A and B are shown apart, each in its own frame.
Chain A
């Protein structure tokens, strides 16, 4: 199933140039999925929102985003956010 989802577009669309609008829609769709994965991975567990941990993870995510934006480095943002979430989890 996972393989079909990955392979089918490679069979039918390889090398094709999509219209600019369609290309943008696909891009936005992919970004939307990735942001949803971020949200679900960080804030949910077993079909429930992790209310105790969610605030500190949200703060750490915002911090990671700001650092990544300022430094133009995703890795720096990730490290900064991870350190902050560790500190916050030990403090609160």
Chain B
């Protein structure tokens, strides 16, 4: 499939992300304004960091005038999650030039990971079923799909934060509940649609529950640690079951 057509396919798949990003990015713009950031700082941070949870996490330390090192550490811990996401996507970009990949990797986020990753998995499975001997995946075509999702979502996020800052709309009372729910609600939906076997629901439920005590112990990295522990435990159990059944 040509690059443009595949990019458009990614754009179509990203529409729910845009819908979810609009209120979340506006909410971040408003929160950033509330914490005393200027418009150029808000836009630059959204474009450079491009990570909702990390941006929210550093707002507090920034507003409280904490040291640059503390802000960096808060952001670093939040952004650790991109490491396995980017690693999981990398095998699908076979043959793509490093420079293009480095530029494209900037738009990896939880949403722009999960949509292409599930699409690539589905396509890989379909390819394996149609021709079991075929191992080649078109890296450039996958990159086009990924950019269709990631780049357009990035634009929506950055322009949404600027919009939120400028307008600082007077949302009707109770509307903040919807703002807070849309993105997590969409992520949960994406995951549940793809759920199979027993391990994935168990890991998702375990991570969902364990994140709260983890975040209470340490708001910056507690929930990351619990996610790593639960995912590794679930994976270990599955491996053990697989070995036992052989």
Show the binding face of A for B, using Cβ within 8 Å. Answer: 1-3, 5-18, 21, 23-44, 46-49, 53, 56-57, 60-61, 64-65, 67-69, 72-78, 81-82, 85-86, 89-90
Contacts and interface: CB of A to CB of B under 8 A. Distances in A.
Contacts of B19: 75, 78
A36 B207 contact: yes
Interface in B156-183: 174-175, 177-178, 180-183
Contacts of B93: 10, 14-15
Contact of A65 (B49, B80, B84, B192): B192
B54 A78 contact: no
A78 B193 contact: no
Contacts of B128: none
Interface in B190-212: 190-193, 195, 199-200, 203-212
B98 to A, nearest CB: 6
Interface of B: 16, 19-20, 48-51, 53-54, 60, 72, 75-76, 79-91, 93-96, 98, 101-102, 104-106, 108, 110, 113-114, 117, 135, 139, 174-175, 177-178, 180-193, 195, 199-200, 203-212, 214-216, 219, 223-224, 226-228, 230-232, 234-235, 238-239
B232 A5 contact: no
Given A11-B102, A31-B203, A41 B180 contact: yes
Q: Is the interface of A mostly helix, strand, loop or mixed?
A: helix
Nearest to B60: A46
A13 B81 CA distance: 16
* Leading 3 A-B pairs by shortest Cβ distance: A74-B189, A15-B94, A68-B189
Contact of A78 (B84, B95, B189): B189
Contacts of B72: 1
Q: Is the interface of B mostly helix, strand, loop or mixed?
A: helix
Contacts of B239: 21
B102 A24 contact: no
Contact of A14 (B54, B80, B98): B98
A10 B105 contact: yes
A2 B96 contact: no
Contact of B227 (A2, A9, A32, A44): A32
A61 to B, nearest CB: 6
Contacts of B205: 35
B216 A47 contact: yes
Given A7-B106, A15-B91, A29 B84 contact: yes
Residue among B80, B104, B185 with max Cβ neighbours from chain A (10 Å): B185
Contact of B79 (A2, A12, A14, A25): A2
Nearest to B226: A36
Contacts of A16: 90-91
Contacts of B234: 28
B221 to A, nearest CB: 11
B86 A34 contact: no
